[in-house]
Amino acid sequence: MQWMSWLRAGHVIGVLCWAGGLLALTRLLAARAARPVAPEAAERLIAVERAVYFRLAAPGSFLALLSGIWLLSEQRELLRMGAMHAKLGLVGVLLVIDHLSLRGIKRIGERPAGGRMYTALHALTALLIAAVAILIIVRPGGGALAIAATKPAGLRAAPCWARWRRAPR
């Protein structure tokens, strides 16, 4: 299935854009909140924040979420892996960080709430991205299912699904 490879590539590209956008945005918001900026510089900084969010992070999150849901609908066996549940929980936290960052941008006339909060969100975003990467690559607790998941159409051939497979027609 060639299209599944393209779908996975789209998912990875979306995740990279979303993660990069969130990392840049939380850093920009922390910089704006840390110290007062001249009005002209503040306008430019806000324009950069909006561009990072609306041209990079938001499209990346849309692509990552859409392709991720599509991939899960095609490979429902992945939902039986504990690592996938953990990954989805971490993605939920990333969505909260995304929302908090968007709120920081929307407060255009004000300085964002505490630079420390956005610095903490920046560090948390980096940790979450690393944790998601580890969960996907290492697949802790996956056993035979994790090994089969790394091969094309491997989940259907995994030994743990043998009793549910239909005989070829």
Contacts of 165 (CB under 8 A, 6+ apart): 156
The answer as to whether 153 is a domain residue is: no
How far apart are the C-alpha atoms of 34 and 119, rounded to whole Å?
A: 10
Lowest mean pLDDT among 14-23, 51-60, 72-81, 111-120: 111-120
Residue 145 counted as domain residue: no
The answer to whether residue 157 is domain-embedded is: no
Instruction: Decide if pLDDT at 160 tops 90.
Output: no
Do you know the residue count of the chain? Answer: 169
With beta carbons less than 8 A apart as the criterion, state whether 4 and 74 touch. yes
Residue 14 domain flag: yes
Is residue 114, in this structure, part of any structural domain at all? yes
Note the pLDDT of residue 149.
57
CA distance 49 to 102: 9
Q: What is the pLDDT of residue 141?
A: 67
What is the pLDDT, as a whole number, of residue 61?
96
Q: Is residue 119 part of a domain?
A: yes
Query: Does residue 53 fall inside a structural domain?
Result: yes
Domain of residue 26: give its range.
2-140
**What's the rounded mean pLDDT across residues 17-27?**
95
pLDDT at residue 110 in the model: 64
Over 80: is that where the pLDDT of 40 sits? yes
**In 35-81, which residue ranges form alpha helices assigned H by DSSP?**
39-52, 58-74
- Average pLDDT of the segment spanning 39-55: 89
Tell me what pLDDT residue 18 has: 96
pLDDT in tens, 61-99: 999 999 999 999 988 888 888 888 899 999 999 999 999
Rounded CA-CA distance 51/139 in Å is 35
The full DSSP string for 70-91 is: HHHHH-GGGGGSHHHHHHHHHH
- CA angle (105 as vertex; 102, 53 as ends), nearest 5: 60
Instruction: Give residue 38's pLDDT.
Output: 83
132-150 residue pLDDT tens: 999 888 877 655 555 555 5
Q: State residue 39's pLDDT score.
A: 80
Q: 64: exposed, middle or buried (C-beta count within 10 Å: 0-12, 13-18, 19+)?
A: buried
Residue 152 belongs to a domain: no
Alpha-helical regions (H) of the chain: 2-34, 39-52, 58-74, 82-106, 115-138, 143-149, 154-157
Q: What is the pTM of this model?
A: 0.77
Q: How many domains does the chain have?
A: 1
